[in-house]
Amino acid sequence: MNINEILKYEPKINDIIMHKDGSYHIVISELKQGSMVVSAMHHVNGCEPVAVYLNIPKTRASMIQGNQFLVRKTDESR
């Protein structure tokens, strides 16, 4: 993803956002208009998944910095 795509990123259900340390979030709700957060399950090795809220502007900034990466099962651009 280039910077323009990251700035327009809207999470979809089952998106996986990977972190450099191996932990990851799985998005479990759609982004609603007027909201800046989505529900997600945070998975860390050796621990039970925890329900959290992801702040999308912070996630986008972290993706631009290279600390997080998006993984999708399907690519809609093709």
- What the block records as the tokens of 55 is 């702040």
Answer yes or no: is pLDDT of 69 > 90.
Answer: yes
Q: Percent of the chain at pLDDT above 70? A: 92
Answer yes or no: is pLDDT of 58 > 80.
Answer: yes
12 touches 30 (CB < 8 A)? yes
CA distance 36 to 66: 21
Residue 39: its pLDDT value, please? 96
Supply the pTM of this predicted model.
0.83
